[in-house]
Structures are given as structure tokens and as C-alpha cells.
Amino acid sequence: LPFNQIYTYHQVDEFLEQLAAAYPQVVTLVNAGKSFEGRDIKYVKISSTNFQDSSKPVVFLESLLHAREWVTLPATLYAIHKLVIDVTEQDLIRDIDWIILPIANPDGYVHTHVEARFWRKNRATGYMIGNLCLGVDLNRNFDISWSEASSNSVCSETFHGSGPFSEPETAIIRDIFLEHQGRIELFLDIHSFGSMILYGYGTGQLPANALWVNLVGVQMAQAIDAVKTSWNPNYIVGNVALVLYQASGSAMDFAKAAGVPFAYTFELPGHRFGLGALGFLVDANFIEQAGFETWEVFGKHEEYKGYKVYNIH
Ligand code: 0X9
Ligand code: ZN
């Protein structure tokens, strides 16, 4: 699978199926359930010991919770590639088990390919006003501080749904956290854009281990900045509610509440000539780069030392 283009839902699905068939010792493909429109939401478990050794920490990577943020897909696909196909850091599959969910919002993602490139939310129709306005912002639909800093209008881009986990897509992610509770040490919710590594609760509080979370975040940013393209800015690391804005019901907040000590929202870089929403467009030159530079946070983990720092929480 070359990493110089953005794959469709079906292409990703086919890739995951073929990967699981070709590497049955290492890859377990899980069909976690169906989206609102009935598409399968699949993730891979990657492990040199078939996920059995519960003393191993788990790293959970997820992309495309927001449909239009296409550049996040090569980041998770490249991680899969480096853990299964082109393994250059053996210790990463020896010491860590991985959960990687490339398309968290399949209905929205398909919609951005066939209908509306800048669609963000899922495609839930149950909230429509006549035939106006649909979709829930999945990153406002988790139960932590639900509805405190989000919209109750279905026409809003940050509509939080009728209640926590009203949407099948967020319930599926919740269940992944609960199923592996106690083992997930690091969660990256990969978004775009803005070149940011964000942590903390969406309503402004910081977790008790915030100093460590900041330290690891800074190390991750340095690892990426060391190889980034000249035209992209350096990553900014900080408290999400200060650096970006307040938001309740996010996946990152749920991760922390479910006991994940290191939870981040990544905002990958935007299109270099994209102003406003055009930042979501993908620069062909950057697709490959987006994959391998995000991978630096793991591939260069001797500097990053993420999973070693976890022992201190
Ligand atoms: O608004 C979001 O959901 C994320 N930004 S995006 O441009 N990709 O939509 C940021 C979420 C950060 N989390 C919190 N603010 N809690
Ligand atoms: Zn997003």
C-alpha cells in the first residue's frame, strides 16, 4: 500500500482484511459494530503475542472521527505499516500491544468523498428539522461533561446529540476503552488541523499527572518537528482549553476518565496554502510526510521515552 494518496472507505477496508489474512500471527481485525448508516467500524489489534500478555501496555490510535480531516488517515495507516509490514523498531511490537482504528466516522467519511468534502459530523438523521440539518459531532457525544461546552442545535457543527453515546460510533469507541481498561497507557485522537498536541480536560481542568503529560507531549512535538517539512509550523503543545477552545464530551476526555494516563488530541498540519476550511484539503506532497512524521513519536521513542515515562504516573 503506497502512502501517497488518500484511500476510500472501501480501500481501507480491503487493506485491513488483506493485512489480517496475510499476518494472522500479528494482526487481529475486529469488526466492532455498525455506524448509523450501517457501515462496519473495524480496528486492528497488533501484537507479537496476540494480545494475550496483559502486562503489556496498549497504545490506542484513532483517526477520522471528523470526516473531513483526511490527512489523519495516512497517519494511522502508516503506523499499521510500520508495526506489521516494514518493522524497523522491533521493540515497539515486543513491548507494546496496539489498537488502531483508522476510520472512526465511516458515514461522514464516505459523504466527504461523494457529496460534501467539508462534512465533519456523522450522518444521523433522527434530529432533522423537517429536512434541514443532520449529524452529530462525535467529538462532543462522549459522556464527560456532556453538553457543557457544545451545541444543542442539530444545525451546529458541534451538535452533541440527544445524550451521551446517542451515536453508535461513539458507543463503539467507549466499548474499546472499557474492554481494555487498565491496559491502555496512551491514546491519540488524531485530528486536523493546526499542528498541535493537546491535553487536559475540554472544560479546562488538568489531570493530576499533567506535568508528565506535558513532558511527553513536548517530546513528541520535538520528534515531529525534527523531521517536519520546512513549510509547516512547529507543533504547539498545551492545555486544550487554553491553546484551542473549550469542548465537552470529547473522546480524549473519555479516555482519561476511563483511566488512560496519557491522552492527547493531535491536530496534524493543515494544507500549506489552505485558508479557513481549505486547510482540510490534502496537499499531495504532504500525504506521505503526514504518515511518517507522526510515526516519529513512536519510531524515535528512545528520545520520546513515552511508555517508560508511563511508569511514573
Ligand atoms: O473541535 C474538536 O473536536 C477538535 N478540533 S477540530 O478542529 N479537529 O475539530 C479539538 C478537540 C479538542 N478537545 C477539546 N477541546 N476537549
Ligand atoms: Zn477534528
pLDDT digits (tens, 9 = 90+) for 149-174: 999 999 999 999 999 999 999 999 99
Cβ of 306 closer than 6 Å to ligand 1, yes or no, is: no
**Gap from CA of 39 to ligand 1 centroid (Å):** 24
Cα dist. 96→55, 58, 59, 185, 242 in Å?
9, 6, 7, 10, 32
DSSP string, 238-263: EEHHHHT---SS-HHHHHHHTT-SEE
Low-confidence spans in the chain with pLDDT less than 70: 1, 300-313
37 catalytically annotated: no
**Gap from CA of 76 to ligand 1 centroid (Å):** 18
Residue owning the nearest CA to atom 2 of ligand 1 = 139
Mean pLDDT of the residues in the chain: 94
Residue owning the nearest CA to atom 4 of ligand 1 = 191
Q: 46-66: per-residue pLDDT in tens?
A: 999 988 888 889 999 999 999
Annotated catalytic residue: which of 69, 169, 185, 267? Answer: 267
Residue owning the nearest CA to atom 16 of ligand 1 = 202
Distance CA 4, CA 2 (A): 6
- From the alpha carbon of 139, which atom of ligand 1 is closest? 3
Residues 297 and 135: beta-carbon distance below 8 Å: no
What is the reported pLDDT for 304?
A: 45
**Gap from CA of 66 to ligand 2 centroid (Å):** 5
- From the alpha carbon of 69, which atom of ligand 1 is closest? 8
The rounded Cα 152 to chain-centroid distance in angstroms is: 24
State yes or no: cis peptide before 193, omega within 30 of 0.
yes
